Amino acid sequence: MKKLFIIRHAKSSWDIGVLNDFDRTLNERGHKNAPEMAKRLLDKNVAIDAFISSPANRAFTTASYFAKAYNKTEKDIIQVPKLYHADVDVFFETIESIDDSLNSVALFSHNPGITEFINMLTKTQIDDMPTCGVFAVEINTTSWKNFKKANKKFMFFDYPKAG
């Protein structure tokens, strides 16, 4: 069995001073929600073997908060450039290339692709993956290469509450 935790980046800033979308930072709410959601995941006694993230600032910063909660550093986060505004095929390609020695992986990316992707996995459907939302699935396989065809079971969906 494998476990996948699909996480949308935390709330980001739309400050005019940011040069481009890729470099957007987390806003105050994002800096509050990311460590809160990381702690919630940790409190569920969820083990994470690897953290895989889009290199975009807001996704990587979110992944950093989760890694820190698991006593890992930014150097432990695997950056996959294709996860920046990835489509469904990129999610499948990325997951199918994960080393089979890793049983539990957290993957950080962006909308709209992340919502479309999670809605293909199980019968549980989400209208719009909220910022810093965590969608968890258990995969009935011993190899990530079989991810697309393997049976997947919805585990849980959690996200920061408004306010």
* CB atoms near residue 162 (< 10 Å): 6
DSSP string, 50-79: EEEE-SSHHHHHHHHHHHHHTT--GGGEEE
SS3 136: strand
Per-residue pLDDT tens digits for 128-162: 999 999 999 999 999 999 999 999 999 999 999 87
Sequence ranges of the domains in the chain:
2-12+23-158
Cβ atoms of 152 and 138 within 8 Å: the answer is yes
- Decide if pLDDT at 19 tops 90: no
How confident is the model over 27-48, as pLDDT tens digits? 999 999 999 999 999 999 999 9
Domain 2-12+23-158 top-level CATH class: alpha beta
The rounded Cα 53 to chain-centroid distance in angstroms is 7
